[in-house]
Chain A
Amino acid sequence: MSLTTLLIQAMATLGGLGLVIGIMLIAASRVFKVETNPLVEEVVEVLPGANCGACGFAGCADFAERVVEENAPLDGCPVGGFETAKEIGGILGQDVSEAEKEYPYLRCNGGTKCVDRFDYVGIEDCTAVIMLSDGEKGCNYGCMGRGTCVRACPFDAITIGDDRLPDVNKNLCKSCGLCIEACPNDVLMFAKDSEKVHVQCNSHDKGKAVKAVCEIGCIGCKICEKNCPEDAIKVTKFLAEIDQDKCTACGICVEKCPQNCIEMR
């Protein structure tokens, strides 16, 4: 067999193989064709593209698909906010009304005002701290201040201040809720700007135990509950809770609280 015939045979074989496989792949791509809606592409364009998953779907592309095809809420993207919702509404020909933005709010003012039970030396992570006999803090409910929420935030909106408490920068915050999910002690929660009065404590311990470890924790004395003219405060399990629908931000509870753990902003 001469070199030329060998070359021709090799080329013909590989070419034939490629041709057969190519035809099979073309056929397969016809059979398994996935119909994509052009609207989905348009919606992806206007989304922020952070892929943070705050909408509850796998990413921005997934959210766009659900919005177009499965009637997911138009304002489902907390990062894009109202602007994005309006643009999506424009693409799909639907009207959107604005919902008020919510920010993570810290239910603990302990920080350096709360005593430490021991010196913690280890990785700077709230979950790791809590795994070590419920944390170094005297209070088992409060903020550990080790920055798990800071690292969870994809937008660098949280910093740990000198008082060892996280500080949320509202200009950078996109209300995605990832910090709230990451916090192992559930001291972060969503609150609207219009909700003025908040209890700055998460402790369900009895008053005496709270006083022993924290300067400004809620001791469940019910003074706020008795003084509230709107009947908006309930003390359950030694912790005051404010019904934001009833609260008129009169400020009486803020003045009366002996522990100064109710705050008006």
Chain B
Amino acid sequence: MAADVSLFQIFMDGVFIKNFLIIQFLGLCSFVGVTKDTKSAAGMSGAVIFVMTMAATVSYLIYSFVLIPLKLEFLSLISFIVVIAALVQLVEFVVRKNIPSLYRSLGIYLPLITTNCAVLGVVLLNVLNEYSFIQSVVFGVAAGIGYTIVMLMMSGIRERSTLVNVPSAVRGLPQAFLIATMLSMAFVNYFGVIPI
């Protein structure tokens, strides 16, 4: 099924048509929590791109070389969670050792990626769509880029909207949800751009 889908299609699919944040509503906690300022949104996005790519790669290897030969596909969910948690831990080690300034500015957001369901979503969708190795990796990168685009758009809008005179009942989180709704409606227009 998935073999005849071109890499470009998968890429556009991950970035726009099936955008993880505002079309599939995955990873919303970081979407609302980290988008108060652009700097931390960008840092979070960078880490998520890396983890998504790595998770797509490693989990494909585990799924097709460990779980399928042993006919243990039902273990995919729990083993993917283990893989993602280990990867985030590894990223934390490396960043702390090599780029301490980035480690300090990311703070709590780095371990938060472990519980980011968008990462697990990428991995599970790869299995569901029966993507090959290359396709899985491309989908992982695309999902990360789509996440980044929306995070940056959202943080930019929220940063500017703090200076606007908003009714006090709507200020804060309600305002964030309204903005997310409008962003989501804009992205709905990408449906059907590429048949997949």
Contact = CB atoms under 8 A, between A and B. Distances in A.
Nearest to A59: B104
Interface in A67-109: none
Contacts of B86: 21, 24-25
A10 interface: yes
A34 B67 contact: no
B135 to A, nearest CB: 24
B170 to A, nearest CB: 14
Interface stretch (B10-18, B76-84, B150-158, B174-182): B76-84
B105 interface: yes
A9 B72 contact: yes
Contact of B79 (A14, A25, A29, A32): A14
Interface size class of B (residues with CB under 8 A): 20 to 34
Contact of A21 (B75, B83, B93, B165): B83
A32 B78 CA distance: 27
Given A28-B90, A32-B97, A9 B70 contact: yes
A247 B105 CA distance: 45
Contacts of A112: none
Nearest to B95: A32
Contacts of A9: 70, 72
Contact of B82 (A18, A29, A34): A18
Interface of B: 62, 66-67, 70-72, 75, 78-79, 82-83, 86, 89-90, 93-94, 96-98, 100, 104-105, 163, 165
Interface of A: 1, 9-10, 13-14, 17-18, 21, 24-25, 28-29, 31-34, 58-59, 62, 122-123, 128
